[in-house]
């Protein structure tokens, strides 16, 4: 009788240990499967970033179109303002069915301060700082959109990101060209 109790307790303990030592690989594969099915449309932080960065590009480009000291900078800025306004409209269309995503309607915080700081600049200093702004923000955006592309499951979102990445790369190439090279090409 005592032997039966020892066997029962031992088998119970083995059973509990087996449950406690469940295969961690099974848990990881479930987590990977869950991550894989998550789409970019479920990520309101990304869409807030995308809207905010395009709003900032529009504001800065409109300012550069007015205050740029060279025709090259003013032309780039006008094209940038038009492009980013269009991109914002496309972005709104992509997320309009996603009720949990609330897009910003204007600049706030550091972005607003940055635009205000740029209004104080003039001439070559403005052009130089605007070029630096475009390069730094476009490179940061390229990195963020590269990451987002891995999460974008639907084709419309993928196309939007691919178009935006292409635009950012071409503008980086254009803004790095000296005005003398641009003038010679025209």
Give tens-digit pLDDT for 47-67.
Answer: 999 999 999 999 999 999 999
User: Which of 92, 93, 85, 96 has its CA nearest to residue 54?
Assistant: 85
CA distance 84 to 176: 19
CA distance 40 to 154: 9
Element (H, E) at 117: helix 109-119
Is residue 65 helix, strand or coil? helix
Q: How far is CA 88 from the centre of its chain?
A: 13
User: What mean pLDDT value characterizes the chain?
Assistant: 83
Would you say residue 2 has pLDDT above 50? yes
Give tens-digit pLDDT for 76-122.
Answer: 999 999 999 999 999 999 898 888 889 998 988 999 999 999 999 99
User: Band of the pLDDT at 30, cuts 50, 70, 90?
Assistant: very low
> What's the pTM value of the predicted model, to 2 decimals?
0.73
């Amino acid at each position: 009788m005592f032997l039966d109790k020892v066997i029962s307790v031992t088998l119970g303990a083995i059973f509990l240990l087996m449950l406690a030592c469940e295969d961690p690989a099974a848990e990881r594969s479930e987590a990977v499967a869950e991550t894989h099915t998550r789409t970019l449309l479920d990520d309101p932080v990304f869409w807030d970033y995308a809207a905010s960065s395009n709003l900032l590009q529009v504001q800065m480009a409109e300012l550069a179109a007015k205050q740029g000291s060279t025709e090259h900078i003013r032309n780039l800025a006008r094209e940038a303002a038009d492009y980013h306004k269009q991109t914002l409209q496309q972005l709104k269309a992509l997320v309009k069915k996603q009720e949990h995503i609330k897009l910003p309607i204007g600049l706030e915080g550091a972005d607003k301060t940055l635009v205000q700081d740029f209004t104080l600049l003039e001439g070559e200093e403005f052009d130089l700082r605007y070029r630096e702004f475009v390069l730094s923000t476009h490179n940061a955006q390229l990195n963020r959109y590269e990451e987002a592309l891995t999460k974008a499951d639907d084709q419309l979102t993928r196309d939007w990101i691919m178009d935006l990445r292409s635009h950012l790369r071409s503008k980086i190439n254009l803004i790095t060209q000296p005005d003398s090279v641009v003038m010679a090409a025209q």
